[in-house]
Amino acid sequence: MRKSEIIQEVARRTGIHPKMAEYMHDSLMDIFAETLCTLDRVPIGHLGYLQATINSHCEGRNPKTEEFIWIPAHAKLCFPTAKSFQERLERELLPQKDARE
């Protein structure tokens, strides 16, 4: 789903002008970014939450050459899903997968 599609759907469901829906979307994304940069969790309704973590530096290995390489510290974004949403995903998506096989 694209940003424009999200904005149109929010405008349709709430009855607000699409420009106001776009402003709300952009403000929400700014709030998410600011919160994640402080390493706080961002709850996403009943879906789960976003959380930024920092992985420390470590030593890795190139699988092709077996050469050891240094992997610098880096930030990572995680999205652990809520148990109820995970169950819903499995309930709705697994039968579709079985039907395709």
Strand-strand pairing, 42-44 and 74-78 = unpaired
Q: Say yes or no to pLDDT of 15 above 80.
A: yes
> pLDDT tens for residues 32-64?
999 999 999 999 999 999 999 999 999 999 999
Mean pLDDT of 11-34: 97
Give the span between the Cα atoms of 50 and 32, in whole angstroms: 9
On whether the CB atoms of residues 54 and 73 are closer than 8 A, the answer is yes
- The rounded percent of the chain whose pLDDT value lies above 70 is 95
Task: Please tell me whether residue 77 adopts helix, strand or coil conformation.
Answer: strand
